[in-house]
Amino acid sequence: MRLAVGRKRCYIACMEIRELILAEDAEKPMRLDAALAAACTEISRARFQALIREGQVSINGAAVSDPSRKVEPATRAKVVIPPPAPAEPEPEPIALNIVHEDADLIVIDKPAGLVVHPGAGNATGTLVNALLHHAGDSLSGIGGVARPGIVHRLDKETSGLLVIAKNDTAHKSLSAQFADHGREGPLERAYAAIVWGEPSRARGSVDAAIARDPSNARKMAVRGGGRHAVTHWQKLKTYDAGGKPVAALVECRLETGRTHQIRLHMAHIGHPVMGDPVYGTGFKSKAALLGPPARQALENLGRQALHARLLAFAHPKTGKTMRFESELPQDMANLLEALESGA
């Protein structure tokens, strides 16, 4: 395997590992991403930023994750470059839980762990790959080759209902309904969430703008100047441990649909979704308040306790209101049962 060393000798052949000398001619420390891009001009700085965040860059044998990290002149770095993903997703025989299907659309009950469409680190094994195998060329092309038929999304570890467009007419109609957020039509989206603590009121709304977290590109944050976001929530049941409220089952309804909206908004009001590895990390110690069965159920859950349980919309061809409900998946049901025992 040929290794590319130094700015003048960076080869773009099909390599998987590259060793580079960074900031070779610099008079002072440079940002890591800028130094990599200068040492290997055939690869963009944005691409190097992505590789750094994915843990594919190491200095002195230790992986680094911050593109803005400063490197001294003549620093040696190793870069692992994954093989390029195919331009178009390939059909894969992945089982789907199809709730409804007709000539215009498919309604899927997505399990936790299934990514909706291909992206960085998820080139295969996605819902799109499964849909291409199931429906072939009959999916809408509006979303592009990587997202055929995709009208809306759920996070990888969020389970529940999704509607897929099978033609462009259906896609345009459904997209318009989601953009309108049900103000003038029957669109409804309701989620069941198990959250830490007990909200002080029976119901409420979170109106807080959402933008990308400036300190972590994989997270969102409540920030002024972000995109308008509103979540309405209702407390359904509270669960105690040792005589004190420790968790609650809430229903969340979206007035807008931003990335990580429910997870971020519930954390913003002090009640993060149980099991959330991104926005609920500050509540990990709360697990000590749970009895052994509940702690085990939470550990077995291994994801955010969030499920898209209700989806309603107007059929793009007939105009008839289509309404679908999904029962809680077994992992969330097991957690509620353990919390119910109070142990």
The owner of tokens 């080139």 is: 123
Kindly list the distances between the CA atom of residue 39 and the CA atoms of 1, 11, 79, in Å, as whole numbers in the listed order: 19, 11, 12
Give 84's contacts (C-beta < 8 A, 6+ positions apart).
none
Q: Which two tokens stand for residue 181?
A: 């957020």
Question: Under a CB-based contact definition with an 8 Å cutoff, are residues 326 and 160 in contact?
Answer: yes
70/21 Cα distance (integer angstroms): 14
Residue 155 falls in the annotated catalytic set: yes
Which of 33, 109, 155, 331 is the catalytic position? 155
Q: Count other C-beta atoms under 10 Å from residue 336's C-beta.
A: 19
Cα angle 61, 65, 69 (rounded to 5 degrees) comes to 90
155/305 Cα distance (integer angstroms): 12
C-alpha closest to that of 83 among 132, 49, 123, 40: 123
Distance of CA 208 to the CA centre of its chain: 19
DSSP string, 160-190: EEEEEESSHHHHHHHHHHHHHTTSSS--EEE
218: left (phi over 0), alpha (psi -120 to 50) or beta: alpha
Q: Which two tokens stand for residue 156?
A: 């990888």
Q: DSSP assignment, residue 91?
A: P
Active site residues: 155
